[in-house]
Structure formats: structure tokens, C-alpha cells
Amino acid sequence: MGRGTATLLAAVAAALTLPLLALGLNLPWWLALGIAVAVFGGVWLVLKPGGGLGGGLVDEAVLDARSATAQGLLQEAANAIDRLRKARREITDAPMRAEIAHLLEVGDKVVREVREDPNRAMAVRRLLAFYLPNAASVADGWRTLEARAVPSAERMTQTREVMGGLSQAFAKYADDVAEPELQTLDLDLKVLKDALKADLSNTS
């Protein structure tokens, strides 16, 4: 394949990847752009004249891209967690402090598990890139409400309701972080059931 054709196909792959990640998966644009650039480089290396990367190198490129995605998501999540901690220290309302403490507990757990296994990142990407930063913004908003001489009762009620919804969303994603292991378990169970069925039927 000619160098020009390889470049064209790599550009097409990157162009398709960018909106898919940013709009389809709700990743931040800067992170989606970085992954798209990595896709361009990977496709170009595979398709360029004399490229012909072996399977091991292709697998390594995929792992590198996956790790880069996880690191970007973790950095964004860590920034949001820091903001949540800061807001909680300055908030005086006990129920709101307890709500934020729960979000921090779940967020820390998910971040820790993704650091241990970056393959889990995509299962909880919406929590890391969307819910955590927005939870920090809501906590900052509550802190602003408390600082007013006469806080808006309606806004405070709405903020409490949103925080309650966030707690439910965080709990869901805390379960989702284990989804890759559960999928592996499902596959193992199916293989073993099929093997047992075949072996036991042969002995009868």
C-alpha cells in the first residue's frame, strides 16, 4: 500500500474516532483528540509501505492507547475529587457534608480500582468524566448558597435532590467497575458448562 493511501486511511480513522469518543462516549474533547492522534499514528504505522507490524506490536499499541485513555480519565476524576474535598471542608450543612462524603468514598474506590486495572476505565468513563466533575460543581454551588445572607430555599431543595440522584448514579458505577471481571466469569461459566455437558454425555 502506498504511503499516500496509508496516510489517507489513517486520517479517516482518526476523523471517525474523534466524534465517536467526544459525542458518543462523552469523553472530554482534549482526551478524544489525543486518542484520535494515537489512532492516526497506529493505523499509519500498520498500513505504511514496509510497515506490517507484527501482532505483538499492534497489541502493545492498543494497550498503550487504552492506558493513555485511563490516565486521562483518572486525572480528570482526581481533580474533581480534590474540588469535592475542598467544598466539603467549607460546607456547614451536616446532611450535605454526609452526602458529599458518600460521593467521595465511592469516587475514591472507583479511581483506586481503575488505577489497579486500566481495562476497567471504559466501564466507568461517564462517572469519571461527567458525574464526578459535575458533582464538584454542585458542591461548589451549595457552598456559594450557604455564603449568602438569605439562601434561596428553592435552589437548596433542588441541590439536595440532585445530590441524592448523584449518590444513586455513583452507586451504579461502583458496581459497573467490576463488569469486565463479571463478563470473564460469564464466559468461563459457559465454557465449563459446555465442557461438563460434553464429558458427562460421553460417559453415559
- Give the pLDDT confidence of 173-195 residue by residue, as tens digits: 888 776 656 656 666 677 777 77
Spell out the residues 6+ positions from residue 64 whose beta carbon is closer than 8 angstroms to its own: 38
pLDDT, mean of residues 51-80: 67
Measured at the CA of 88, the angle between CA 87 and CA 94, to 5 degrees, comes to 135
Alpha-carbon distance 1 to 50, whole Å?
9
pLDDT digits (tens, 9 = 90+) for 103-148: 999 999 999 988 888 888 888 888 898 999 999 999 999 999 999 9
Domains of the chain: which residue ranges?
54-203
pLDDT digits (tens, 9 = 90+) for 6-57: 565 656 665 666 676 666 666 676 666 667 666 666 655 555 555 444 444 4
Q: How confident is the model at residue 71 (pLDDT cuts 50, 70, 90)?
A: confident
